[in-house]
């Protein structure tokens, strides 16, 4: 695979993962009072683990995170479960 092809693959991969991760977070927030709320939080944590590993690998291969649409902070945007509507 050529470097240009790899870049487009990574861009699509990161986009798809972000979409799925944020959907999982929405489900986690929606089900926060259910008996199985830990299950939904675990799914989100799994996505966080993938993004954490991916970020480390991208950096170790000197690939700019923004070049592959890794333009967010998984620690803040996935692991923070506070309701944004509360003050």
Give a yes or no: residue 21 inside a domain.
yes
Give a yes or no: residue 34 inside a domain.
yes
- Asked if residues 79 and 23 have their Cβ atoms less than 8 Å apart, the reply is no
Q: Which residue has the higher pLDDT, 63 or 87?
A: 63
Mean of pLDDT values over 51-78: 95
Give a yes or no: residue 84 inside a domain.
no
CA–CA dist 41, 28 (Å, integer):
6
Give a yes or no: residue 85 inside a domain.
no
Give a yes or no: residue 58 inside a domain.
yes
Give a yes or no: residue 61 inside a domain.
yes
Give a yes or no: residue 87 inside a domain.
no
What is the value of pTM for the model shown? 0.84
- How many domains would you assign to the chain? 1
Domain that holds residue 14: 3-79
CA–CA dist 70, 11 (Å, integer):
8
CA–CA dist 86, 11 (Å, integer):
34
Give ∠ CA 38-27-24 in degrees, rounded to 5: 85
Give a yes or no: residue 54 inside a domain.
yes
Q: Give 18-56 pLDDT, tens digit per residue.
A: 999 999 999 999 998 989 889 999 999 999 999 999 999
């Amino acid at each position: 695979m050529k470097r240009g092809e790899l870049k487009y693959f990574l861009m699509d991969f990161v986009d798809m993962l972000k979409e799925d991760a944020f959907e999982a977070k929405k489900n986690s927030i929606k089900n926060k009072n259910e008996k199985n709320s830990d299950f939904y939080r675990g799914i989100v944590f799994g996505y966080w683990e993938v993004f954490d590993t991916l970020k480390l690998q991208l950096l170790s291969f000197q690939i700019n995170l923004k070049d592959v649409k890794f333009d967010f902070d998984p620690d803040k945007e996935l692991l923070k479960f506070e309701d944004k509507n509360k003050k």
